[in-house]
A and B are shown apart, each in its own frame.
Chain A
Amino acid sequence: MIKVNGLWHSYSKDNIYAVKNVTFGVEKGEIFGFLGPSGAGKSTTQGILTGLLPLQKGEVYVGGYDLKKPCDDMFNIIGVSFEQPNVYGKLTAVENLEFFARLYDVPVNDPMHLLKMVGLENDAKKKASEFSKGMKQRLVFARSMLNNPEIWFLDEPTAGLDPATAGRIKEIIRDRNKKGTTIFLTTHNMYVADELCDRVAFINDGEIVLIDSPRNLKLKYGDRLVEVEYREEGELIKETFSITDDNERQKLTRLIASGNIETMHTKEATLEEIFIKVTGRGLK
């Protein structure tokens, strides 16, 4: 659904590139995570894919549309949820959605239904300027579903949301993905990416440094450790065992047999730890 080949972009149109030779593809029905710290090139790449920035160098196809020859029809099949809560503050929530709904050439979802999905049905007639940042974020998210997009670009969709609301949003994302929507998720939140994405790409300084599934990355870059808390002569002891080392594995087996273990967790690496390992910098 998305094909990017040798993408370069320079804001100053010189040799200072925000995106350098980026190449990747996203299959139909896939949730593809684009992970990187601020300024890494995530937004620039998404800007080009959504037609907000001009394609300077490279090949980009979105839903079969060649971005070298921009075509308005492409916008009927894509949806974009921005991180910035860019809504008309003077219009109500439902007026915001009704206005954007009239701009599409394809059947659209009922604005009230979408507001209900994101938990804003009781605030439908309230001016968006009276909304909290999280409510505006949900309105932007709802707006991006108006045209039932085949390709859905989500930029930090859970940023600024409380855990319950974030859970609801993630549920909607999973649900639409199950129905066949391809999702391009831009985030610096490793937990969201880990939870939702089939594959993730790590971008750093404008370059993609890794692309794989979260599981494969963890297996490849993580230490296979188990963290155990157990009691010995009344004292609580916390210890980490490598399951690739024979001696430590036998010690762990003995501990399990003793029945003194209180907690036990596998300690695979997080995506953030892998990112740091690969790039030498954090995701924040």
Chain B
Amino acid sequence: MKLWALVVKDIKLSAKSNYTYIVLVFVIVFVVVAVFFVPDEFTNDPEVFVHAGTEGLLSGKIEKALDVDEVVFYGSRDEVISNMKKDRTSIGVDITTENGKMVIEFITQGYESERLKKILEAHVMGWAALETGYEPNSYVTVLESNNPDIPANKGMLPVFLVMESAFMGFFMIAAYVFQDKEEGTIKAYAVTPAKIWQYLLSKVLVFVLFGWVSGLLATIIIMGPGIRYLQFMLLLTSASIFGSMLGLIAAGLFTSFTKAMNVIFVVAFVLGITVIPYYMPSFSPVYIRILPTYPLLFAFREVLFPTGNTVLVYTNVLGYLAASAVLFYIANKLFEKKLV
């Protein structure tokens, strides 16, 4: 009953502040950006302009060998060069035959990376080896053959769910408790027979609710009905609880938002840094992998784009719930020691 009264009061206060609307606007902006502005796939591949002496026979094979978005064939080397001057992101290839041997010339703009040049060279040389009857001695082995091809715009969703929906409570709960401290309403609460854990839990529940609203809205619109919503809700709830608990600890350690601000921003930065290995898996040092948001990002990705690794999801759910229980105990002790 008391907990319910607290939850209702906190929802009323949130509804009467701008916070609810900020959450909704943020969700809408994210969804609009993801759906209308971010393409399915980002590509840095340049256009390749090709002059091939035997265009008719080879063009299909060359196109396949280059494995880039766009290959444009021209009738002469000069034509390739003049078009490259018009499109400074393009690369040229001139294929001719001399004394029965294939001669391949790569024409570059001059500022391409060595990596790109090597990749292009490897592609064309591999094709050339096949054409001239030599088997290429390199193979590609795919480790995770069932990895889904995640569209770039949908791939942003786990980041949104972690940073906005799950960890919203971290920033906001601290702000709400500090407001209670500043207004002195926490003192008025402290002289009633209600418990401290009820005060803390009501705030957590409210931010879990907000997490649900923002997370579900964005996910339903972007992903539609075809994902495992039970797993999704379990993960979102446990992570929201954990984020809110971190906020309670911050609010319990400091007396005002100004004093806590530095710590809150540092923690937010540290938690946010895990987005880097999410997009660049080659950079995932141990000190980032041990951060709580790291497994969470991949757990959300698993729920949204399943590869069959449900253990990852449930491990995260249980881990976050266990950690939340410990943090709630600590927060309770901190507030019992000094509520006002």
Q: Which residues of A approach B to under 8 Å, CB–CB?
A: 50-52, 72-76, 78, 80, 82, 84-91, 95, 99-100, 102-105, 140, 143
Known: A52-B340, A72-B195, A103-B2. A86 touches B187 (CB 8 A): yes
How far, in Å, is A145 (CB) from chain B's closest CB?
Answer: 13
Chain A residues, Cβ within 8 Å of B194:
72, 103
- CB of A100 within 8 A of CB of B190, answer no
**B281 contact set on A, CB distance < 8 A:** none
Complex Cα gap A91–B195 (Å): 22
- B12, B195, B340: the one contacting A95 at CB < 8 Å is B12
Residues of B within 8 A of A74 (CB): 193
Is B192 close to A, CB under 8 A? Answer: yes
* Interface CB pairs A-B, < 8 A, 7: A78-B191, A84-B187, A88-B13, A89-B183, A90-B13, A102-B2, A103-B194
Contact check, B193 vs A105: say whether CB atoms are below 8 A apart: yes
CB within 8 Å for A52 and B187 given contacts A72-B195, A100-B192 = yes
In the complex, whether B16 has a CB less than 8 A from a CB of chain A is: yes
Shortest distance in angstroms between B95's beta carbon and chain A's nearest beta carbon? 73
Min C-beta distance of A62 to chain B, whole Å:
11
Q: Are A82's CB and B184's CB within 8 A? A: yes
Give chain A's interface secondary structure class.
loop
| B109 proximal to A (CB < 8 A) | no
With A102-B2, A104-B192 known, 13 other A-B pairs at CB within 8 A are: A51-B191, A72-B193, A72-B195, A75-B192, A82-B184, A87-B183, A90-B16, A95-B9, A99-B5, A100-B192, A103-B2, A103-B5, A103-B192
| Known interface pairs A102-B5, A103-B2; A75-B191 also in contact (CB < 8 Å) | yes
In the complex, residue of chain B having the shortest beta-carbon distance to the beta carbon of A71: B193
* Residue B189 is within 8 A (CB to CB) of chain A in the complex: yes
Q: A90-B16, A91-B9, A91-B13 are in contact. Are A103 and B183 (CB under 8 A)?
A: no
Interface string of B183-210 (1 = CB under 8 A from A): 1110111111111000000000000000
Q: Is the pair A102, B1 in contact by a Cβ cutoff of 8 Å?
A: yes
CA distance A74 to B8 in the complex (A): 25
Does B82 belong to the interface (CB within 8 Å)? no
* Cα–Cα, bound, A89→B16 (Å): 10
- CB <8 Å contact, B184 and A84: yes
Residue pair A91, B12 in contact (C-beta under 8 Å): yes
Distance in angstroms from A244 CB to nearest chain B CB is 48
Quick one: which of B1, B185, B192 has the most chain A CB within 10 A? B192
Interface hits, B1-30 → A, CB 8 Å: 1-2, 5, 8-9, 12-13, 16-17
Known A82-B184, A86-B185, A87-B185; judge A99-B9 contact (CB<8 A): yes
Which residue of B5, B17, B187, B191 has the most chain A CB atoms within 10 A of its CB atom?
B191
A88 close to B193 (CB less than 8 A): no
Chain B residue contacts of A89, Cβ below 8 A? 183
| Chain A: minimal CB distance from B277 (Å) | 41
Q: Smallest CB–CB gap between B180 and chain A, Å?
A: 9
In the bound assembly, the distance between CA atoms of A103 and B202 in angstroms comes to 13
Contact B9 A73 (CB under 8 A): no
Q: Which of A73, A74, A80, A103 has the most CB of B within 10 A?
A: A103
**Which residues of B are found within 8 Å of A90, using beta-carbon distances?**
12-13, 16-17
Taking the closest CB of chain B, its distance from the CB of A106, in whole angstroms, is: 8
CA–CA, A143 and B184, complex, Å: 14
Contact of A75 among B8, B13, B193, B339 (CB under 8 A): B193
List A contacts of B185 (CB < 8 A): 86-88
